[in-house]
Amino acid sequence: MLSRIADSLFWIGRYLERAEDTCRIVEVHLHQRSDDPSSPGEAARNLLLLMGHETREDEPDVLDALCYNEQSPVSFLSALGSARESARRARETVPTEVWESINTTWLAMRGGRLQRMRPASMFKLVRERCAVIAGLADSTMSHDEGWLFLTLGRSIERIDMTSRLIATASLAGNTPRAWDHVLGGCGAHHAFLQRYGAVAADRDAAEFLILDRVFPRSLIYTLGTAVDALEHLGPAFQRIRPDDPASRLLGSAKATLEFLPAEEILLDLPEQMARLQVVCSQTTESISERYFEGSLAATWVGGAW
Domain boundaries, the chain: 3-292
Rg of the chain over Cα atoms, rounded to whole angstroms, equals: 19
pTM given for the model: 0.91
Give tens-digit pLDDT for 131-166.
Answer: 999 999 999 999 999 999 999 999 999 999 999 999
**Torsion 265-270-275-278 (CA) sign:** positive
Identify the CA nearest to 77 among candidates 116, 109, 35.
109
CA distance 280 to 274: 10
List all residues 6 or more positions away from 112 whose beta carbon is below 8 Å from its beta carbon.
68
The per-residue pLDDT of the chain, averaged, comes to: 90
Backbone angles phi, psi at 62, to 5 degrees: -65, -40
pLDDT recorded at residue 1: 66
Angle between helices 202-211 and 219-233 (to 10 degrees): 10
Beta-carbon-side half-sphere exposure of residue 218 (alpha carbons within 13 Å): 21
pLDDT recorded at residue 239: 55
